[in-house]
Structure 1
Amino acid sequence: MSSHLPALVVVLTVLLLVLATWMVGRARGRYGIKAPATSGNENFERVFRMQMNTVESTVAFLPCLWLATQYWSPLFAGIGGLVWVAGRVWYAFAYAQAANKRGMGFMIASAAAGVLLVGGGVGVIRALVGI
């Protein structure tokens, strides 16, 4: 079971990216921002930046998840990944409401990614030196 948890996190991460894309599409309609424009209404711009920030964060998160799964523990990597997803969901909805509300979600997700990076990094170093 625990070895499947990181795979579930990947599925949830993809769903998060789909949700963020949907939120941008909805905001385009709501605020009258026609593609390919990415500016013109502050409310739209917040939702658009949330999506871009989520994509950027995902690019760093997924290697951390993989490293932690392979070189630390699939269970702990999966739990850390679930925390990351929860933090990013919090971030997405908070940022869509107001820019100053996004901080806690960002901190939760960043801390989870940091733990995964350290756990995976220590595991890689241990494997390299044979401990």
Structure 2
Amino acid sequence: MSPPNTIYESASTLLTQLKKASPNEVFRKLILYGAVSGQHTVLPEATWFAVFNDFFNVYSSEFSGTENNHVQLLLIELLQLISQNSLEDGWKEIKEFLLRHIDVFSGWNRCWQKDDLEERKVFRGEDGNY
């Protein structure tokens, strides 16, 4: 059984709800569970909300407090960019956003190698070499 093809509508609903409540509260309300083919699971009409929940929580084990809030705000902004247009039309803006925040999304900001390189004053030059 496939989920309905409502990812853009679900994203819009989620973004509207996130203006009113915290992500945890919103997902608790939107992710519905029930029986599907004899299994207790996420109902098909709530599948996209469960996917978005995973999208928002992928970093929660790595970040805490204000850092996690910052990452969640970035993810909300990314979801807004993704849901505004088709990926083909919005890709340039999405790509620029991802590259602008690549150190956060890749984990580089929290990486010991980065700290070690900065401590030893090793930086990448304009030619791409260190």
Whether these two folds match at TM > 0.5 is no
Considering fraction of residues, name the structure with more strand: 2
TM class by smaller structure: 0.3 to 0.5
- The higher relative CO (CA closer than 8 Å, separation ≥ 6) is in 1
- For the pair shown, the structure with the greater C-alpha radius of gyration is 2
